[in-house]
């Protein structure tokens, strides 16, 4: 009976060791609120394009939060401890790191251009397609264009037309 308990204990311990470790905070003393704000800011380490709250350099020789992300998260935590609101924390971080620190552009001011440009390009592209389709509809069909071209100095006699039909008939039969 003891042997069975020991085996189950080894199995339970092995299963616990094989469970994936959840991606927790960068530092143990940081809370979810810090990471929510950190996820709105880009890690400024120039080694990734990840959010400061999620900078783990996945796939590299070093896997874990970089020193820049740790520093940014500590700064965010200090601002929160000082009693600043989320907007004030973001403004303080942008004042320090510049507007490139935003993960996504703000929906106000010049950042609004980045949000509106895709819609503008879509509307302009659709307008261009409609304009081209209207031109194609107005263009005469191939047969009418060939006859119109014949009136512009190219004369085809009935004999030449009959010869061309016979030639094309022979070539398609072979």
pTM of the model: 0.48
- Of the pLDDT bands very low, low, confident and very high (cuts 50, 70, 90), residue 27 is very low
Structural domain contains residue 4: no
92 and 119 housed in the same domain: no
**60/90 same-domain check:** yes
3-state secondary structure of 125: helix
Of 3-17, 78-92, 135-149, the poorest mean pLDDT is in: 3-17
34 within domain boundaries:
yes
What pLDDT sits at residue 163? 93
Please report whether residue 43 resides in a domain: yes
Q: Looking at the structure, do residues 97 and 117 belong to the same domain, yes or no?
A: no
Largest CA distance in the chain: 108
Residues 79 and 125 in one domain: no
For residues 96 and 152, membership in a common domain is answered with no
Domain span holding position 58: 24-101
25 pLDDT higher than 80: no
Q: What is the pLDDT of residue 30?
A: 58
Mean pLDDT over 118-135 rounds to 95
Q: Say if 3 falls within a structural domain.
A: no
Portion of the chain with pLDDT greater than 90, in percent: 17
Mean pLDDT, the chain, integer: 76
Residue 28's pLDDT is what? 43
- What is the pLDDT, as a whole number, of residue 141? 63
Which two structure tokens, joined as six digits, stand for 90? Answer: 């973001």
Highest mean predicted confidence (pLDDT) among 94-98, 121-125, 147-151? 121-125
**Residues 93, 123 within the same domain:** no
Structural contact between residues 41 and 102, judged by C-beta atoms closer than 8 angstroms: yes
- Judge residue 102's burial from the number of C-beta atoms within 10 Å of its C-beta, 0-12 exposed, 13-18 middle, 19 or more buried: middle
CB 35 within 8 Å of CB 52:
no
What is the number of domains present in the chain? 2
pLDDT value at 139 more than 80: no
Residues 28 and 97 in one domain: yes
Residue 28 lies in a domain: yes
**In the listed set 72, 101, 130, which residue is the last one of a domain according to the structure?**
101
């Amino acid at each position: 009976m003891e042997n069975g308990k020991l085996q189950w204990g080894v199995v339970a311990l092995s299963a616990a060791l094989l469970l994936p470790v959840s991606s927790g905070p960068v530092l143990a003393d940081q809370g979810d609120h810090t990471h929510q704000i950190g996820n709105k800011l880009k890690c400024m380490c120039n080694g990734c394009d990840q959010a400061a709250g999620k900078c783990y350099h996945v796939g590299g020789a070093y896997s874990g939060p970089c020193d820049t992300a740790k520093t940014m998260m500590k700064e965010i935590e200090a601002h929160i401890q000082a009693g600043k609101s989320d907007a004030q924390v973001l403004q303080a971080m942008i004042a320090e790191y510049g507007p490139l620190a935003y993960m996504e552009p703000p929906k106000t001011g010049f950042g609004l251009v980045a949000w509106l440009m895709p819609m503008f390009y879509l509307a302009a592209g659709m307008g261009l397609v409609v304009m081209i389709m209207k031109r194609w509809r107005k263009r005469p069909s191939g047969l009418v264009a060939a006859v119109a071209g014949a009136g512009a100095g190219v004369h085809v006699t009935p004999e030449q037309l009959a010869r061309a039909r016979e030639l094309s008939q022979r070539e398609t039969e072979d």
